[in-house]
Amino acid sequence: MRIALVSDAWAPQVNGVTRTLRATAAELERRGHALETITPDQFATLPCPTYPDIRLAIGCGASVRRRLDAGGADAIHIATEGPLGWAARRWCLSRGVPFSTSFHTRFPDYLAMRTGLSADLFWPLVRRFHAPAAAIMAATDSLADELAARGLPQTRRWSRGVDLTLFAPGTAPLPALAGLPRPLQLHVGRLAVEKNVAAFLTSTVPGTKVVVGDGPDRARLEQQFPDAIFLGALHGTDLAAAYAAADVLVFPSRTDTFGLVMIEALASGVPIAGFPVPGPLDIIGPAGRGPGDRAGRRIGAIDPDLSRAIGQALSADPAACAAEGRRYSWSHCTDQFVDALCPVPDRRALVA
């Protein structure tokens, strides 16, 4: 199958969206699909306001039209609501070509945090973007329910995966974290206001707080919390070693649609602490025993009091965490992605 993947999130950006898309793209190509990616690294860009490390394509409309006209794709997936996504959407609508989208990021919530306005003011634009899609891929059932309540019922499940060759128990801990007071509490993610990192850094559990990641809030957080250890962004074996050193991963975000770092930590045998919100509830479960409140050993803890959640998560079973993490695979996620694609019924429709 020839697949056109259009995304405003791509390398060198470092976030869960880019990691999900690149892992899926690699699996699609491994299976023999012909994949054409239309991404910001192929265009002139400008920095995104408040996120200078995220580059947005400019003047991309004509090029996107030409490439989709010439591409002969059997299916088109528009992953993000940025300039490239809107350009591809316009092309599909003008040609009468079905397409799928995915909902990765709660932009209305992010914009509300930055402007002080209600998130409800920004939802009409998000709804307008996704409404014509034949399918909207969502990572969890709770997210699908939320989208349906917002007038977007055409969701299909597209979960997330873990590189189990990289994130696994028995990995050597990161040397930089050796000998620190325990418990070692880890946060991994972009350092921005919507990630609510300050809730982690003000929690009262003794031990050492370690932050992996970068972003616009890093300088402020380092100044405000000098006792915490900030390692910057880590990748590959270094990131796996950071998980291996930790006693608990703290996930303070209230706005994530999934939280890829949580399943990476679980696969590494590390329990999770978080708030009772979508994302943590979907992965850890309300009783800390996995989705659907399964009977079994604890893999983490959910509580409105984050310090209490951290304390409870520290009693979780590392073996149960690792077993839960192994349930997530990129192969299964790619199966879901392919099943949710919307085939172009007549390839001649792609000719201008």
Q: Distance between CA atoms of 155 and 100, rounded to whole angstroms?
A: 10
In-domain check, residue 167? no
- Same domain for 240 and 298, yes or no, is yes
Residue 224 sits in a domain whose CATH number is 3.40.50.2000
- Same domain for 314 and 341, yes or no, is no
In-domain check, residue 251? yes
The 10s digit of each residue's pLDDT in 128-146 is 999 999 999 999 999 999 9
Q: Is 58 helix (H, G, I), strand (E, B) or coil?
A: coil
Q: What angle, rounded to 10 degrees, do the helices at 260-267 and 16-30 form?
A: 70
The 10s digit of each residue's pLDDT in 203-224 is 999 999 999 999 999 999 999 9
What does pLDDT average to over the chain?
Answer: 94
Highest mean pLDDT among 11-25, 49-63, 230-244: 230-244
- Same domain for 149 and 288, yes or no, is no
Q: Distance between CA atoms of 133 and 323, rounded to whole angstroms?
A: 36
Residue 320 has pLDDT above 70, yes or no: yes
- Same domain for 219 and 313, yes or no, is yes
Structure tokens at 238: 């270094």
- pLDDT: is 291 or 94 the higher one? 94
In-domain check, residue 166? no
- Output the pLDDT for position 352: 45
- pLDDT: is 345 or 328 the higher one? 328
- Same domain for 305 and 275, yes or no, is yes
In-domain check, residue 168? no
State the residue range of the domain holding 154. 2-161+331-350
The 10s digit of each residue's pLDDT in 241-300 is 999 999 999 999 999 999 999 999 999 999 999 999 999 999 999 999 998 666 679 999
Mean pLDDT, to the nearest integer, of 2-6?
Answer: 98
In-domain check, residue 170? no
- Same domain for 154 and 8, yes or no, is yes
In-domain check, residue 114? yes
- What pTM did the predictor assign? 0.93
- Same domain for 94 and 240, yes or no, is no
Q: pLDDT band for 118, please (50, 70, 90 cuts).
A: very high
In-domain check, residue 285? yes
- Same domain for 190 and 254, yes or no, is yes
Total number of domains in the chain: 2
In-domain check, residue 216? yes
- pLDDT: is 15 or 169 the higher one? 169
- Same domain for 186 and 320, yes or no, is yes
Distance set, CA 266 to CA 92, 204, 205, 319 (Å): 39, 23, 21, 9
The 10s digit of each residue's pLDDT in 23-73 is 999 999 999 999 999 999 999 999 887 777 789 999 999 999 999 999 899
CA 141 to chain centre: 15
- Output the pLDDT for position 293: 65
Mean pLDDT, to the nearest integer, of 180-203?
Answer: 97
Structure tokens at 121: 């003011």
- Same domain for 152 and 131, yes or no, is yes
Any residues with CB less than 8 A from the CB of 88 and at least 6 apart, and which? 4, 6, 38, 64, 68, 76, 78, 99
- Same domain for 322 and 335, yes or no, is no
Q: Which residues of 271-297 are buried (b: 16+ CB within 10 A; e: fewer)?
A: bbbbbebbbbbbbbbeebbbbeeeeeb
- Same domain for 155 and 185, yes or no, is no
